[in-house]
Structure 1
């Protein structure tokens, strides 16, 4: 289905053509007409499926005829879990509204940048606010933002926001929104928390579910390599040189680890840097731009880069450390093999995390052949499971018994 079939305005179609958007993705085919028909939507689709354009484009179409030269009041509020995704969504609004006769005013509200500048931009008047919840709460607390004119509320990567503990902040924001609005929720999964919060947001969601996991992984060669922890760094260097990977995203478990290994790789002559939440926003933006523009070959990152970020032509994703959540494995490796291109994922495992990787395989319905590289073979013995004695029925203390004991000890 071509975008022209949605009967978008000419300026929007011109921007789509300039950015090589010709055919709508499956989620765009489903969601765009529903948004144009003013439905509340709860959509489930994995990262890289085209979710952002599925709400940006129809909203721009609806705003096109309402933009004036007068001081604007916020009509659109988009919330996302990370600064990078927030800035990326804002950029989508800017790119696709480029040819509008009257300029659309878009404000990014994120931590790490001047709150004074963001307040000033809002006070000058804006049509669209794209925000992280924490900084939006900061601005709301200064009583400088009125959301009474809001018409569209979008929650992107909703499950990730709730995983990161933003439920209370989200609840605070929801209480300030006008009751009459269009609600759009996008998520890669439907955890219990999200189902509960969706009931507060709207009682009339149209559900759209896209099951694309297997299709999205078809373009990715998945390798699982058994190697001792202390040999991962040397093996990674060998694999990069042997396979001539040009752009590599490496996932680490901690912020400190990303800094340390990036420093070591730079000393070895690689163009490498680290990317995590402790960096100031200017550094995060600069590092990500360098990676996008091929000034960096290797980006060592925490899971902050696992979802939502669009970086073209990543040739290889490496799970240096395993993700905690099984489904984050799919989100991570989904950074490569995009837009019909071929990609590679490499996962390092050892005896300590073998059972965890088996769980990942089970939940993600995968069965990947394990391999070893000559000179880096896995050494040691598998960790034996120690089984304790089976609990005796009726012998375990109840909660009431424990509470009575505690009260007696206090006395």
Structure 2
């Protein structure tokens, strides 16, 4: 199948001419969106979900009546600023040759609200926003949602993970009752089913499973190493395996800064990427990494979703993720768009039981390696053997706060 089979306008067909053919989620979703109904789609990170909704929504915008001042036709809600920037870029790229000029505004936190308020003067056709900043703009009377024709929740599972449930409820209350609703998610937890039942009307359901050949594009490795030798091992691998660019995941913001400092002291160009940085700093370090001005990007799970970095050969789990799902999203930063990739996990004595659980949940069995000169000597303490478990098996901070509040009431 080709994109021309969907009945899209010539400018949109031209915009996607660089792609050989639609992905599985695009082939299933584009006709459903063009038909105007609601949609619930789950597909792995990197499967082409953004194009799957942007293309048909641009076509529906072309086919609609355009008033002055502009009224918001499509509202796209995303969990992070980086994903908002990427979605906005896709909308802008695909609309460059349209017969009518489209106005796309990105509304995200971490930067001054004033330029965004100025950008919204005269209205907008497409708005790509994080929930919190969108509500700020509504409170400033900079935007109204009463004419929205289509609502997209992109990376909906991640949005709920980040605690945007209350913000979503308020936004939904401000939207017109009759509209098209599109919900895209990489996973399908119970919370997604609940929100789907709340907002979707007789939706088309699409679930795209990763094909075996797609999974094979990422070579997974597990290297046993003592905790204190992880940074020297990382330096060793970068040098001996000639890694040109590597994305390293750590557990905390402090950990990101600490590892970057150690790498820089040893002459390796590295940058940190985490939520404590300003939006400008995050944009700068991400741009430097994409342009290969720095070789190593050390990030928290903020980078596990929504970052599309082409030709990223290696991802390293310096610290293991909390859940099997987060592991999948992390390693999904490499091996994208048909390219080969490598995902390396450092396995310490205290994390080996946790990695076994991740393997079990993902149906994987990854051979353990030891690198000469970095053979581990540490042994897991008996009480730590089951510590750290998969997310969902231990209480979150929110759960603990709720229990504390309940005890006070009693």
In the TM superposition, what is the alpha-carbon distance from 1:179 to its structure 2 partner? 0.7
In the TM superposition, what is the alpha-carbon distance from 1:221 to its structure 2 partner? 1.1
In the TM superposition, what is the alpha-carbon distance from 1:69 to its structure 2 partner? 7.5
In the TM superposition, what is the alpha-carbon distance from 1:215 to its structure 2 partner? 3.8
Partner of 2:389: none
1:97 aligns with 2:95: yes
Q: Deviations over 1:157-206 (max 9, x none)?
A: 10111111110111110110101000000111111111111111123121
In the TM superposition, what is the alpha-carbon distance from 1:383 to its structure 2 partner? 2.7
Match of 1:256 among 254, 257, 261: 254
1:368 aligns with 2:361: no
Partner of 1:163: 161
In the TM superposition, what is the alpha-carbon distance from 1:386 to its structure 2 partner? 8.6
2: CA distance between counterparts of 1:386 and 1:294?
40
Partner of 1:115: 113
Partner of 1:64: 62
- Conserved 8 A contact 1:217-1:334: no
The alignment covers a number of residue pairs equal to 388
Partner of 2:14: 14
- Conserved 8 A contact 2:123-2:143: no
- After TM superposition, list the pairs within 5 Å mapping 1:231-380 onto structure 2: 231-380=229-378
In the TM superposition, what is the alpha-carbon distance from 1:291 to its structure 2 partner? 1.2
Q: TM (normalized to structure 2)?
A: 0.91
Question: Relative to structure 1, is the Cα distance of residues 82 and 107 closer, same or farther in structure 2, using a 3 angstrom cutoff?
Answer: same
Question: Relative to structure 1, is the Cα distance of residues 360 and 213 closer, same or farther in structure 2, using a 3 angstrom cutoff?
Answer: farther
Q: Deviations over 1:325-354 (max 9, x none)?
A: 111111111111111211111100111111
Q: TM (normalized to structure 1)?
A: 0.91
In the TM superposition, what is the alpha-carbon distance from 1:97 to its structure 2 partner? 0.2
In the TM superposition, what is the alpha-carbon distance from 1:112 to its structure 2 partner? 1.7
- Conserved 8 A contact 1:69-1:102: no
In the TM superposition, what is the alpha-carbon distance from 1:213 to its structure 2 partner? 6.2
- Conserved 8 A contact 1:67-1:102: no
Partner of 1:78: 76
In the TM superposition, what is the alpha-carbon distance from 1:380 to its structure 2 partner? 2.6
Describe the SS at the equivalent of 1:140. Answer: helix
2: CA distance between counterparts of 1:60 and 1:66?
10
Question: Relative to structure 1, is the Cα distance of residues 12 and 195 closer, same or farther in structure 2, using a 3 angstrom cutoff?
Answer: same
Question: Relative to structure 1, is the Cα distance of residues 304 and 91 closer, same or farther in structure 2, using a 3 angstrom cutoff?
Answer: same
- Conserved 8 A contact 2:87-2:128: yes
In the TM superposition, what is the alpha-carbon distance from 1:39 to its structure 2 partner? 1.5
- Conserved 8 A contact 2:33-2:56: yes
Match of 1:129 among 104, 127, 130: 127
Match of 2:207 among 202, 206, 209: 209
Q: Deviations over 1:68-121 (max 9, x none)?
A: 483211010000110000110011000000001221000000012221111121
2: CA distance between counterparts of 1:188 and 1:283?
28
Gaps of 5+ in 2: 386-406
Larger radius of gyration: 1
1: CA distance between counterparts of 2:127 and 2:70?
11
Deviating more after overlay: 5-14 vs 177-186: 5-14
- Conserved 8 A contact 1:223-1:345: yes
Where has structure 1 moved over 6 Å in runs of 4 or more? none
Q: Deviations over 1:234-293 (max 9, x none)?
A: 000101111111110000100111112112212211121000111111111111111111
Match of 1:182 among 180, 183, 194: 180
2: CA distance between counterparts of 1:351 and 1:205?
47
In the TM superposition, what is the alpha-carbon distance from 1:211 to its structure 2 partner? 0.7
Gaps of 5+ in 1: 388-405
- Conserved 8 A contact 2:120-2:143: yes
